[in-house]
Structure 1
Amino acid sequence: MSHHHKQRRSKHYRPRGIDTNPIELAINQAMRLLPAEQTALTEPMEAAFAEIRAGHGNLEHWARLADSLNIATALAHLSIASDHHATFEAGQQALSRLHERVAASGCWTLKGREIAALDDALFVHKVQLSVCSRRELREAVTSVMHRVQQALAGNAATGVRVCLPGLLGGGQPELQGAAHAHA
């Protein structure tokens, strides 16, 4: 005897909005970021780096740099500055060492090589932002968000290190649920 069971849908159908002008949408997504959009992304990153470089860093600064380097790596996977994977890895390793130092001693001081690695990685990331399209940036951000969610769920890829901001001691409640995963 066979049993015919109807499977229940776990999600309700929700129609998406209809774009009345798909050509305009395609053009908009293919456009490079406007200078004001680039500035809105790079100024907070540069300010965070300046504070950490001066030894006045905090969790928010560290998280901003980790997010920036994760997005830079994702853009490199989309063939935007793909020859700089090692540059981004060096920057992420500098942040990882800083994370360990802060967890152990509360010290937000970067070493000379770490400053150079972060400076190089952030410079290349600014170049990436000057040449990527809005669609490519959106894809990179979505990829990073997905990777972090997977890492938090215990499904981090081999070689990925998950740094939870709450482990840095103290912490800011709005960032407690955030995580930063990098290879």
Structure 2
Amino acid sequence: MMTDANAELLDHLGELVDELNTVSRSVRTLYSPNSGRSAWLGCEGGAELATFLFDVRQAWAATFDPDARDDCAREMLLELAKSELAGQIVSVTNLCGATSKPQTTAMRKLKALVKAGLVVRRPDKKDRRRVMVALTEKTRRLMDVLYQRTVGSKLVAPRTEGALN
């Protein structure tokens, strides 16, 4: 049974995931490999976006233990948060595939996240060959802290014309 506190935490987590997805879309929009120029130079709002991205990364580093500060860990934790908010469960294979790292690197990172108490591995109830991964309550609380340090503190992505579609 979900408590009001857990529901509120999931709402905050959803807002944070939405904001990070917005930033990601902004960066993809700002950077066009065919433009022949740097995405940041001459772009209205480029400096604000760069500052926002830096501040979010700093907030993540201030919130999470060293085991969760690299790109692979961030990708895994955000993928698990996104999936949890969508009511989906994630297998080890799918989680490792959602990162930008090789499978062996992702597996090592997953083991470190389990050891740090940030994620938990569980056998799939429907298929004993599969192992599922989920966020722990500790990680949900840390995501709430991250939300407060970023979106909750009015640290929001710049809204530049044409950058956010």
**TM-score when scaled to structure 2?**
0.35
The structure whose RCO (Cα within 8 Å, separation 6+) is larger is: 2
Q: Which has the higher helix share?
A: 1
Larger Rg: 1
